[in-house]
Structures are given as structure tokens and as C-alpha cells.
Amino acid sequence: MKKIIALLLAIAMLATLTLPCVFAEAPADETCKYWGDMDEDGKVTSADARLVLRHSVGLKDNPEGYTEDVLYKCDIDQDGKISSSDARSVLRLSVGLDEFPAHELLKGVGKDATCTEDGLTDGLFCIICGTTFEPQEVVPATGHKEVTDEAVAATCTEDGLTEGKHCEVCGEVFTAQETVPALGHDPMAVPAESKEVCEPAQVCARCGETLSEAVMHEYNAKAITVENGVVCTRCGEVKTPSFNDLVNPLKQAPHTFTYLSQTDTAIDEPKFTGVMLLLKPMFDEEFKNDDNNETEYTVLSEKTEVNSRTFELINADEVSRLTDNDATVKTETVSGVDFLKNLPDTVSVGSRSSDLTAIKAKDFGDVLKVTVTLKPETYSKLADQGGVDAIGRISSQYGSLISSAMMQFSGLNEDFLKTDADCVSNMTVTYYFEPETFSPIAATYKITMDISQTMSIDISGMNKDDLPAVLKLASSTTGAISFKITTDLNTFYFFDEYFD
């Protein structure tokens, strides 16, 4: 009952405020002179005592009934009902026999001001007399405190936010931050430091994150052949072209070159048998007179333009017909063009003389040396040659040279004197390329011919009178002379763009 009344009173006193209320301790030294003021005239008299007494016995003096707060302050002993005992207490208070009880204090609990609503300080009131001990004061609303929510840039992998605004105190949002979707990585190829890189590493151009590692080329082979180059099986990039592919394009290339042909010939000691022994002194003279075992320069041509007619050794039509059955290929990186140092300083062909010291002194650094070795070819007789041999396929010039040599050594075919020849030939072609561009620097074509010649004689069917005097002494009617001629034909090419 007491609490209900207190609450109602508080509502009445603070008409516009609805506040939680608690009771506070009354000041110890103050009494409230309104306890028992039933008629609410501001003083406690015997008239109040009389009204309390009448109310306690059910007499109704007030047609509208007493308010609860009037009844509360007349319930002096606070037992929850108005009795004659309370009437007696009021009478004693009115004549000063009893001391008034203390103020019945109510604490008006304040509230903090918010951004948009006023607040109140705490207050203190007596619910019996209405005395305000501490007034409640309005604390004005503080207003919002706006702060900026910084924009957050989106990254490759994380969403960002637009700039926003909100109240730092109450959290009210004025401008909402909106999500900016993550950007995703921006792939960028890292320039490869090595030529061995097939697919470059990928990094994000924005954040630098490594997206993929570099992948190296995967080569189909370690070395080139006549027909096949070294090629990446992943990307198809050609590391080193096949020999055919290296050499064939030279036909169209705008090169000029200088070349030099050299012949080394050696004739071994001839063997004489039978009646041929009688002719040995004559042949000895012949072999001595020959310029055997000599190095001879036969052609020197400067600044010749490359084309399939003038430089048939690199005739693409022919070179491209070489197969892996014809030849083996060796590639290596070497320092410089090694055959140069074996050349003489000066070369004379006929009346012309050329100084090679400048060519010999050239420094090329590392070069790609490609050596193609053709399988040896054997010719028993010129007539037995069918088709075009490998040497003919790389060089019709050398192919016809073998033919004419065979023809020359098969020349005699009289009844009594027959000649025959076997020829074994092989060929080595060496190119020196610039290692990055495969542009040709120099080349050598070397063909070796071993011609075994046999001249046989049979004089049994001849009239002795017809024989030369030296043969008339013969005890045998047959015999032979055999010898071998070894010829090395070398042609050296210097591509002028590297030698000028």
C-alpha cells in the first residue's frame, strides 16, 4: 500500500515525468508537520483527530472519499489501516504531546540526457508535505555526435566499404557504409630471367601475391638431329632447330659470303705384281712427278651473294632432303670458330693473293657449332650408282665431283689393260651459328674420297713382237698395279656480315 501511494504521488507531482522512484532515508533531525492533516488545511489540529476517528468507525464525512495519500499520512502507526489509535496519535500531535514523524522522503531518480531526449537530475521530495529537498532539473538533450566512418578500400580478396556517418554516442546511422566487393587479383606475368622459362610466373599487379610459379620448358630431346629440333612439348617453342631447318633458310637470307676451297691429296705407295713389276720404273717417275701430299687452294671468291645457284651447298631443296638415316648431328657450344686458326695467313689462287689475318683474328665469343657427319658411301663403279646419294643431296657439286673422279679412274678399257676403281666417300658439314639468332657465321664442307685404283694387264693373247721391249722379257703374262688416292676437299665459308 505504501509503495503504491508513493508511486501515485510521484506521478502527480512530476506530471510530465515518469520516473522510477525509490524511498530515501529521511533527514534524521527533521520532522514533517503534515502527518495527520486529514482536512488538508496545512496544520494538524483536534479537528483532524476527530476526522480520523470518524473515518476509523466508518463515518463518511467526505462524500468523494479520501484520497489514498490523505489516508496514508493519517495512518500514523503505518499499520495499513486507519484506526482509533491513529486518531489518538493525531490528537497528541496536534497538542504537542508527540513529536511529528520524519518526512517520508521519495527520491526522484533522474536519467541521463540522450542525444535526442532531455534528462533529469536526481530529486528528493517528501510525499507527506510535498517539500522538495532536491529539485529535479532538466538536463538538455546532448545532440548527436557525428563521426565519419572512414571508407575502406576493397582489396583483391577482401570487400571494402564506402564512407559512412553515425552518432558516436547512440549509434544512430546517418549514412550507411556500403560494401564494395573484393576486386579479385590482377594477374601479371613476371618477366622471365631465364630463357628456360616456358610459362612465366604470375603475380598480382595490385597486391603482389604470387598466383602461379614459373614453369620451365619441357624439351622433347636433348640434341637436334637432321630432321628434328629441340622443341618444348608444352609451348612448341624451338630451342634449337633441326639441322635442315637451320640450314635451309639460308637460301633466302640476304647474306654475302666469302669462300675458299682447299684440296689435300695423298697417294700411297703403289703395289706392283706380275708383269706390272717390269713397268714399275716408268710409274715411279709418274708418281714422283705428281704433286702428291700437297695442299692446294683452288677457289677463292669474295662477297658472293647467297642464292641457291651460287651457293648450292646450302641449297634448301637439297639440304632439306637429308634424313636421320643419312647423317648424325652433334651440337655444342664452343668458343669461337675453331677452324680459323688452322688457315694460313695468306692464300694464293692463280695470280690472286688474299690476306686472311683479319678473318683469323676475329673473336666471336661463344658460338653454336653444329656438325653433321654423313655416313660413308661406297661406289664400286660409276655405273652402279643409283639415285642420288646423301652427298649429292647436300651438295650436287660434290656429288658430281665424285662422279667425274670415278669416270677419270675408270678410263682405260683396252683388251689387254683394264682399270677399275672403288671409291669410299664421306662428308662432314660444320656450321657455326650465332647462338641466339642461329644466324650463320661460318661453315665448312669437308668431303673425303678414298679412291682405290687397280690397273690390271693381261698380255697372254698378244703377239710378243707387238709388245714393248720391256715386256718381252716377262715370264708372267698378267700383273697389276694398285694404289689409293685420298683426297680431302674443304670449302670454308665466311659470312660477310660477321667478317666485314
Binding site residues, Zn ion, CB under 5 A: 32, 103, 115, 126, 128-129, 144, 156, 167, 169-170, 185, 198, 204, 206-207, 209, 217, 232, 234-235, 237
Given CA atoms 323, 326, 332, 334 in this order, what sign does their dihedral have? negative
All residues at 6 or more sequence positions from 376 whose CB lies less than 8 Å from its CB, including other chains: 424, 425, 426
Rounded to the nearest whole angstrom, what is the least distance from the CB of residue 246 to Zn ion in the complex? 20
With respect to Zn ion, which residue has the nearer C-beta, 235 or 412?
235
With respect to Zn ion, which residue has the nearer C-beta, 52 or 128?
128
Rounded to the nearest whole angstrom, what is the least distance from the CB of residue 130 to Zn ion in the complex? 7
With respect to Zn ion, which residue has the nearer C-beta, 13 or 232?
232
With respect to Zn ion, which residue has the nearer C-beta, 39 or 450?
39
Rounded to the nearest whole angstrom, what is the least distance from the CB of residue 358 to Zn ion in the complex? 41
Tell me 282's DSSP state.
Answer: H
Rounded to the nearest whole angstrom, what is the least distance from the CB of residue 78 to Zn ion in the complex? 14
How many CB atoms lie under 10 A from the CB of residue 54? 16
Contacts 24+ apart (CB under 8 A), 353-359: 354/300, 354/302, 358/499, 359/258, 359/494, 359/499
Give the span between the Cα atoms of 484 and 361, in whole angstroms.
37
DSSP-assigned beta bridge partners for residue 349: 352
Give the span between the Cα atoms of 146 and 175, in whole angstroms.
10
Rounded to the nearest whole angstrom, what is the least distance from the CB of residue 208 to Zn ion in the complex? 7
DSSP-assigned beta bridge partners for residue 456: 418, 480
Rounded to the nearest whole angstrom, what is the least distance from the CB of residue 126 to Zn ion in the complex? 3
CA angle 265, 270, 276 (to 5 degrees): 140
Helix, coil or strand: residue 153: coil
Rounded to the nearest whole angstrom, what is the least distance from the CB of residue 30 to Zn ion in the complex? 8
With respect to Zn ion, which residue has the nearer C-beta, 207 or 299?
207
Rounded to the nearest 10 degrees, the angle between the axes of helix 84-94 and helix 46-56 is 180
Q: Which three cell numbers stand for residue 132?
A: 522538495
With respect to Zn ion, which residue has the nearer C-beta, 3 or 195?
195
Helix, coil or strand: residue 92: helix
Q: Which three cell numbers stand for residue 337?
A: 670458330
Rounded to the nearest whole angstrom, what is the least distance from the CB of residue 238 to Zn ion in the complex? 10
With respect to Zn ion, which residue has the nearer C-beta, 169 or 462?
169
DSSP characters over 324-339: TTTEEEEEEEEES-GG
Rounded to the nearest whole angstrom, what is the least distance from the CB of residue 197 to Zn ion in the complex? 8
Rounded to the nearest whole angstrom, what is the least distance from the CB of residue 37 to Zn ion in the complex? 10
Element spanning 192, H or E: none
- Chain-centre distance of CA 52, in angstroms? 103
For the chain, the straight-line distance linking the first and the last C-alpha, in angstroms and rounded, comes to 125
With respect to Zn ion, which residue has the nearer C-beta, 22 or 170?
170
Q: Which three cell numbers stand for residue 493?
A: 665459308
Element spanning 378, H or E: strand 377-379
Task: Report whether 390 contacts 327 (CB < 8 A).
Answer: yes
With respect to Zn ion, which residue has the nearer C-beta, 31 or 454?
31
With respect to Zn ion, which residue has the nearer C-beta, 204 or 337?
204
Rounded to the nearest whole angstrom, what is the least distance from the CB of residue 367 to Zn ion in the complex? 24
Q: Are strands 202-204 and 210-212 parallel, antiparallel or unpaired?
A: antiparallel
With respect to Zn ion, which residue has the nearer C-beta, 26 or 327?
26
Rounded to the nearest whole angstrom, what is the least distance from the CB of residue 310 to Zn ion in the complex? 38
Q: Are strands 346-349 and 327-335 parallel, antiparallel or unpaired?
A: unpaired
Buried b (16+ CB within 10 A) or exposed e, 9-33: bbeebbeeeebebeebebeeeeebb
With respect to Zn ion, which residue has the nearer C-beta, 245 or 326?
245
